[in-house]
Structures are given as structure tokens and as C-alpha cells.
Structure 1
Amino acid sequence: MVTFDIESVRRFAALAGDMNPLHHDEALAGSTRFGGLIVSGTHYSALMMGMVATFLSERRPALGLEFEFQFRKAVAAGDTATMERRIVAIEPNPKLKGDVVRLEGTLRNAAGDVCVLAKSTSLSLPGHAIAAA
């Protein structure tokens, strides 16, 4: 779970170069159909990509090959979201010298609404043990 407090919403959007006033200007955002600041898609996309990278690299070194996001509903600043992912396929790929892992995931707001649908393809490198921390 992650809570998108107002300051982190503004800070992340600024760091990502996303100066859309819907992420920075409470008065303007409040006058829109959203009723307040919303989280930049870049913000939760990065968190979802990080979730995949962490999940895979806890087992073996891995790197992302492709990510796809469908933004279905805006995430309000101040909301708490839950991210989930599941493996849908693992396919050996001799050319890439590893296993191609396909995952699907969701991000849901506190009300349980699906805000983001995600798909990813990563390369997991077999034969490389991960040292325990």
C-alpha cells in the first residue's frame, strides 16, 4: 500500500518534469471534475515498475523489457492505493540467455476501484544467485 500525500504528489511530478497544474495547483484542480489534486501517472507507473523490479530481482537479476499501462481512473492526492501483480507466463529465451517473464498488475484506490491496469515483460537471468542481505 502507498499513500499519495499532497507534498509527495507535487514533489514527484516536479522531479519527473510533469508541470501539469492538476498535480500542483489545488485551486485549479479543485475546479475540475477531479475536485482536487490528482497523482501524476508517472508517479504510480514508476512505483509499479519498481514493484516488478523488486519482486523479480529478489530471486535473480532481472531487467525490464517492456511496460504497458492503462490509466482507467485518476488517483486523488491523499488517497491510499494497493498494487498487485501476478505472473502470467515464463518462457525460456536462449537468444536473450534468460527467462522472459510476463506479469499483469493493478493499482486500486482505497475504495477498491481499478485505477491502473499494467502489463510487463522482463528478462530474468538464470544461474546468477542473489546474495542474502
Structure 2
Amino acid sequence: MIPKKSNFHILQIGFKDSFTKIIDEDAVQKFSELTGDVNPIHMNEDYAKTTRYKRRIAHGVISAGIISALIGNKMPGVGAIYVSQELKFKAPVFIDDILTANGEVVERWEDKNRIKIKTDVINQDGKVVTEGYAIVMFE
């Protein structure tokens, strides 16, 4: 079955949605294997204890992946093409953090079938770990 194309019209300015994911040990291991990023701050507990964080941190870009999941699955999902993302990493993500990506449509370009989404990712304590803006186009 072929999924239906997106409903660009539902994504009006002010439309909001979110997506939540636990960043567990398995996620960090898989991300490291996929990307080849084996920096010891992510992979070696003994090394991480010598850093300012005193424990391992997840790869910062994993939080951007949570934003991608929000766009690809829910905002609006089918038909969305992630064009660009501006990111600022505000705080570390630790193993077993629960991250929630939030998005809010802040601009629309009807003639280009594109929207601008204000994005942030917060952890289980409500702390912003990543923020920025995404541009999404539609088929």
C-alpha cells in the first residue's frame, strides 16, 4: 500500500506537535556504529569520568534525529522532505535521558510548499538540550 501524500494545508502557523524517545545505551551504540563516531566521551565510561560531565554523554546529533522523527512521522509525516536545520546544542544528553522534540510552525510559503518550524528538544527535567529552526518542503 502506498501512503497518502501530505496534508500541507493542516500545517498552519501555530500548529504544534511533539515526539518522545529514550536515549538508552543501545541507541548510543547503534548511532556510534552507524556513523563511526567512537569519541570516548560517548563510548568510554572511564574516560568520561575525567571530563567536565563526569559521565558519558550521548552524541549531540542524536537530538537532531529526534527532530527528524517528529517531522518524518508527525509534522506531517508522509510527504515531508527535511530541507535544512539550524541547531544550537544547549546542554548535554546523558545515557537514559528521555528526550522530547517539540515543533511549532512559525512561517509558511504557500508558493513553495514549504514551512519553517521552530524546534526544541527537552529532556525529562524540562531542560532544553537543543534548539533551532527547520525548513520542510512537501511533495
Question: What TM-score does the superposition give when structure 1 sets the normalisation length?
Answer: 0.81
Residue equivalent to 2:16: none
2:114 is matched with which residue: 75, 92, 100? 100
CA deviations over 1:32-74 (Å, ceiling 9, x no partner) = 111211110222212211211222444x512121111110111
Unaligned runs of 5+ in 2: 1-19
Q: How does 1:46-65 map to 2 (within 5 A)?
A: 46-58=65-77, 61-65=79-83
Residue equivalent to 2:23: 4
Aligned positions, number:
120
CA contact 2:103–2:120 (8 Å) conserved in 1: yes
1:79 paired to 2:97 = yes
Amino acid at match of 1:3: I
Are the structure 2 counterparts of residues 84 and 56 from structure 1 closer, same or farther at C-alpha, using a change threshold of 3 Å? closer
Residue equivalent to 1:18: 37
CA contact 1:22–1:28 (8 Å) conserved in 2: yes
Q: Report which stretch shifted further, 98-107 or 4-13.
A: 4-13
Amino acid at match of 1:123: M
SS at match of 1:35: coil
SS at match of 2:74: helix
- What do you get for the CA RMSD once the two structures are aligned? 1.6
Distance of 2:97 and 2:108 partners within structure 1: 34
Distance of 1:118 and 1:20 partners within structure 2: 25
Amino acid at match of 2:129: C
2:87 is matched with which residue: 53, 69, 74? 69
TM-superposed CA distance for 1:14, in Å, is: 2.4
Q: Report which stretch shifted further, 100-109 or 3-12.
A: 3-12
CA contact 1:79–1:110 (8 Å) conserved in 2: yes
Are the structure 2 counterparts of residues 112 and 57 from structure 1 closer, same or farther at C-alpha, using a change threshold of 3 Å? closer
Runs of 4+ in structure 1 over 4 Å off: none
Unaligned runs of 5+ in 1: 126-133
CA deviations over 1:55-109 (Å, ceiling 9, x no partner) = 2444x5121211111101111112112211111111112xxxx411100111111
